[in-house]
Structure 1
């Protein structure tokens, strides 16, 4: 850490793994620039204080029942969190801004700004009433953030059923998605989402700035359009995990035994399989993936979270004879140290759900992807990987053993796979340059730090 600059930044992440990681990474970056860090967080998915000894962590009640915390309906959970956290957050923030009378003014000056996840929509009037500058961090690709405000309109205009001839048609309002992607996306949503998106839009537009964990090399057109649309400072500070790893903010304990196992494998021979912290699959899908991995004859490292498979605890549904085949060529773990895994020389491909953090981590390590998106921004990220950057292969929701086996063989054994590897090496180099001195993300980070200083002086 640089010498303290006397300024404090308050951060407020959403309690989802994909949102916690970038917020904690941002906290580490700002701390390294001399800012003191206070993280306000919910009881649900609370970060471990022992992992962040240099931060002040303040917990607020979130009002979620045990049943609600197990819900797979993310939109419902976010709606409930925004309803139930408003009052506790107000109390916590007000206490932070208040101090014994003799120190009140000094304390107020020390707190430079609030940075909250874009999913928190109740913060705008509260920060305004406290005269506290407010910045927004969005954990998705800028293209998705800008495009997803078209969903209410697309929801109103959707006409069922979608004809086969229309499946591949592009969606003008939300490129590079295809109609079949939007239909899968909208099938999960409701009018609750439409109102929620409108609140996100308004809260972001009235903020003092918008932060993305992306860079011009990955998002140039959308970043330019976002700046025009919102008329606020936009900071694309790049893949922050390259500056500080996210392992200390993981909500699940990684199985470190996978690294010695990878050490024994040949270079670029292993397919890494992980669907992140939210995706759930059926028992039949688990079996199809198992057969596909086994039949590919390619070494694999497969992450299956406890509770990821609907109706069963872990992998007990896989028949004993199939497990015997799997154990010959692969390793199954409940969670993995993903950044360390993707850096490993044995990894030659990544069968992924295409969450934004995972997608960027894969690009930064030059690991080509096999894309199997399930929810939310994953559909758009997969299209960029396969159709725009052309550094991966798309399963198109075909969770079928022959499709999985065949796609793995293409990536590892055929000329098409080698071309994909060459492309992702070039993209890796471009993105890596962005975070180096005078790169686009480096300059955006410098601008963000200057902006926070400026906010504190107003």
Structure 2
């Protein structure tokens, strides 16, 4: 931050206290945001749970504050309510004590350091603490803007008797959320009471001073208009954060196997199907077996990430028939985790078979890579629907070997696939414009800095 800019705002030295949940898709954008804000002269404290803690040595300029969470493992989606309740209950006290300590330490200081809380909506205790202490707070939403109205409307749909949804209605459009169908709604696989409890937990009780969304104006104009009409606080579109402010080192919780890059170097341009179902999803051995046969039978090169312990009841892929694995190795590479941003930017990648988490979706959009959509839950079905129906640079895959084989060939070597690649490249260009000087996200970040200084 320029000295003149600081002087203009009374010479205060703002300290930003950021906290994100211990999920890869939430922590990564928060660290990218912290890197950007630090480059603008703000002091950064990262308050984090002990579970999946970030590595302080990768961010030497930040102060790290571990919060006692008493949690040892990230749960399956079915246990999300209990997990979030425990996470928030356990982290709250230490977080509040730390902030009170900072406030008390500067009671007699001539130049006080103002404090602003920035938190991901799953760490809702932070907003409550900020309210109790009279501190301004800003929410970073790490899912798509289109997911927000879809979550917000769930209690209304239940009150009107439209949820739980009948099987015959799953394909029907939710009239308020076009083009989303009932089957695309977040948390649709959970029992309705659990869904309502989850929505109640993650929708803010106290309005924040502002919202940030890791998205771009051109991608989701309709959802952003709805949000702005509903919330009379500033809405900053600051995405994609990984492009605006790359972190100096990996933010991955898992060790990345970079050897796959040299394998990709030997492949033809846009020929490889990259397959990764994210950092949380679990599948059973039948699904993985169908995926393996589909990849093998497609006769297309592939890079397949199979996370250890992501297959129920197995360590890795030891259950696959030996002959099938041998056949797969002739045209593909299977790894346990990959440097995804680097992979998607590689010239050899022609398509991305993904769970459609928002970070993965943004990374694919940013590199102009069309997608095969294999959503599981949370916001993934919303993202999948937008990829296929709005941005038209992907389609949903049916997990059966013959369908998979056809889908891979359709994306990589058909005329329709070519058209999707073209649309993906057009979106990539718009993303580049958005993050460049004078682009919508660039301007929004500038406004965000001014807003924080005005608090």
**Cα distance in 1 between the residues matched to 2:292 and 2:104:** 56
Which structure dedicates a bigger proportion of its chain to helix? 1
Secondary structure, counterpart of 2:395 in structure 1? strand
Q: 1:100 to 1:360 in 2, by over 3 A?
A: closer
Indicate which of 112, 117, 125 corresponds to 1:114. 117
Indicate which of 370, 384, 409 corresponds to 1:382. 384
| Structure 2 unaligned regions, length at least 5 | 7-12
Structure 1 residues 77-96: aligned runs within 5 Å: 77-96=83-102
Alpha-carbon displacement from aligned partner over 1:306-359 (angstroms, at most 9, x marks no partner) = 111111111111111111011111111111100000000000000011001100
**Cα distance in 2 between the residues matched to 1:160 and 1:225:** 24
Q: Is the 8 A contact 2:81 2:197 kept in 1?
A: no
**Cα distance in 1 between the residues matched to 2:367 and 2:299:** 24
| Structure 2 residue 135 is the aligned partner of structure 1 residue 129 | no
What residue number does 1:140 align with?
143
| TM-score for both structures, normalised by structure 2 | 0.93
Q: 1:257 to 1:15 in 2, by over 3 A?
A: same
**Cα distance in 2 between the residues matched to 1:210 and 1:408:** 38
Shift of residue 245 of structure 1?
Answer: 2.9
**Cα distance in 2 between the residues matched to 1:338 and 1:374:** 19
Indicate which of 34, 59, 63 corresponds to 2:66. 59
What residue number does 2:217 align with?
216
Indicate which of 13, 31, 35 corresponds to 2:20. 13
Q: Is the 8 A contact 2:189 2:377 kept in 1?
A: no
| TM-score for both structures, normalised by structure 1 | 0.92
| Structure 2 residue 212 is the aligned partner of structure 1 residue 206 | no
Q: Is the 8 A contact 2:255 2:337 kept in 1?
A: yes
**Cα distance in 2 between the residues matched to 1:150 and 1:69:** 27
Secondary structure, counterpart of 1:370 in structure 2? strand
Secondary structure, counterpart of 1:381 in structure 2? helix
| Structure 1 unaligned regions, length at least 5 | none
**Cα distance in 1 between the residues matched to 2:25 and 2:367:** 19
Structure 1 residues 24-39: aligned runs within 5 Å: 24-39=31-46
RMSD: 1.9
Q: Is the 8 A contact 1:270 1:300 kept in 2?
A: yes
Shift of residue 248 of structure 1?
Answer: 2.2
Secondary structure, counterpart of 1:39 in structure 2? strand
**Cα distance in 2 between the residues matched to 1:13 and 1:420:** 34
Indicate which of 24, 44, 56 corresponds to 1:49. 56
**Cα distance in 2 between the residues matched to 1:278 and 1:269:** 27
What residue number does 1:412 align with?
412
Structure 1 residues 156-195: aligned runs within 5 Å: 157=161, 158=163, 161-163=166-168, 166-182=169-185, 185-195=187-197
